[in-house]
Structure 1
């Protein structure tokens, strides 16, 4: 079978599509025939081995795990001898962040406990877009406290992998949503339902005089002092951190600034692949409240080009790999 593999840390060029042995499920494992996989910014971080502190777990000099790919949707093909929760033919989906990665392949062998049932009325392609980015959006908005109808929500960095889910989930909860990204993404963000779109290259939202009840910061480009300027009294700011320095600033200084200004500023502890989050996402997908946007589809043989497309920052919606 085929799989995308790498032998060292580095950019997309370190990847190749290789012939590998067919996986055999051991105790507690299942083999999934991959119907679709989607790409995330976290896949690029995984390639580069960043943040560097993560290499303590992934390999200090070279990656101990050669496989790539987080989001998977497909059909169970075989199960280990002691697995009773799944059987061949079951439709499943998962975020493999803490289960060995490897979604970019014809088949992937993972712990059976990592797989959640996928309802029949959700397509494999739509399902594959959601586990990682959709869960991050859900948990980020949840960390900000319940988003109430009529609240003003700002999504900073709305045009990437996580932002489109955040915009649609906030709209589904009745919020008035402002989405910030660069100009090439603005029409796409309007299509998602954003009430207002801002091009960060021409306007600094933190100096615009606008105030928001909830700020979900995916771009991770502003200091605590800057984000405080765009919070309404009682407003809540949550960072989806990509840099260790920014995480430390928001986690340590955010609560202090928030206490002094009557706001709440911080980040949150992300938990990948929660079954309850996937069930909530399934409901949002089934109802049409969240409609996945697919930028492009690539074959498995062209998966390296798919990751190059993601790395370019030009994608509007999720990039899919369909074996």
Structure 2
């Protein structure tokens, strides 16, 4: 079988498609035939070995795990001893961020406990877009408390992997959504349902007169004090953190700034691959409450090109890799 592998940290050029042994499930494991996988910013970070402190877990000089890819949707091909929740032919999906990665392959061996049943009315290519980025957006919105109909929600950095889910999840809750990103992505964000779009290269939304009940900050391009300016009284701000320093700043200083000024500011501890999150996302995908947009589809042999597309920032929606 084929799998995308790398021997060192680096850009997409370090990737190659290799012939590897067909996996055999051990106790408590399953082998999944991958029908679709998608790329996330987390995949790019994993490839590049950033932040550097993460290499304590992933390998200081070289990656301990040669495989890449976290989002997958597919069918169970075989199960090992002790697995009773699944059987061959079952449709499943998962975020393998904390379960070994390796979604960019014909097949992947994972702990059966990492898998969640995928309803038959959610196509594989639709499902593959959501386990990582969709769950991040879901948990971010949940962390600020219920988003009520009519509330004004600002999504800063709305055009990447997580932002489109945040926009649509907020709209599904009846919010009035303002989406901020580069001007080239504004038509894409309007098509997602954003009520208002802002080009951050032409306008600093934190310096205007608009005030928001909720700010979901994915871009992480503004200071706490500037973001405080655009919160309405009693407003809530949450950071979807990528940098450890920024996470620490928002987690430690956010509650202080918020407490002094009558708002809530901070971040949240992300919990990957929660069954309850995937079940909620599946219902939204099936009902059309969330409509993932696919930028491009690549065969497994062109996985490196898919990563280059992701790294360019030009994608409008999720990038799929289809073994």
Using the size of structure 1 for normalisation, the TM-score is 0.99
Name the counterpart of 2:109: 109
Please list every run of 5 or more consecutive structure 1 residues that lacks an aligned counterpart in the other structure.
Answer: none
Compute the displacement of 1:48 (Å). Answer: 1.2
Name the counterpart of 2:143: 143
Name the counterpart of 2:208: 208
Name the counterpart of 1:171: 171
Inter-partner Cα distance in structure 2 for 1:209 and 1:51: 36
Mapping for residues 1-323 of structure 1, pairs under 5 Å: 1-323=1-323
Compute the displacement of 1:245 (Å). Answer: 1.6
Residues 270-302 of structure 1, C-alpha deviations (whole Å, 9 max, x = no match): 000000000000110011010110000000011
Using the size of structure 2 for normalisation, the TM-score is 0.99
Inter-partner Cα distance in structure 1 for 2:2 and 2:225: 49
Compute the displacement of 1:104 (Å). Answer: 0.3
SS state of the match for residue 50, structure 2? coil
Compute the displacement of 1:260 (Å). Answer: 0.5
Compute the displacement of 1:96 (Å). Answer: 0.3
SS state of the match for residue 178, structure 1? strand
Inter-partner Cα distance in structure 1 for 2:267 and 2:50: 19
SS state of the match for residue 226, structure 2? helix
- Provide runs of 4+ in structure 1 moved above 2 Å: none
Compute the displacement of 1:210 (Å). Answer: 1.2
Q: Aligned Cα RMSD in Å?
A: 0.6
Compute the displacement of 1:49 (Å). Answer: 1.2
Residues 103-129 of structure 1, C-alpha deviations (whole Å, 9 max, x = no match): 000000000000000000100000000
Inter-partner Cα distance in structure 2 for 1:182 and 1:226: 19
Size of the alignment, in residue pairs?
323
SS state of the match for residue 179, structure 2? strand
Please list every run of 5 or more consecutive structure 2 residues that lacks an aligned counterpart in the other structure.
Answer: none
Inter-partner Cα distance in structure 2 for 1:228 and 1:279: 34
Compute the displacement of 1:55 (Å). Answer: 1.1
Inter-partner Cα distance in structure 1 for 2:58 and 2:140: 25
SS state of the match for residue 260, structure 1? helix
Residues 106-161 of structure 1, C-alpha deviations (whole Å, 9 max, x = no match): 00000000000000010000000000000000000001111000000000000000
Inter-partner Cα distance in structure 1 for 2:116 and 2:167: 25
SS state of the match for residue 132, structure 2? helix
Inter-partner Cα distance in structure 2 for 1:62 and 1:205: 41
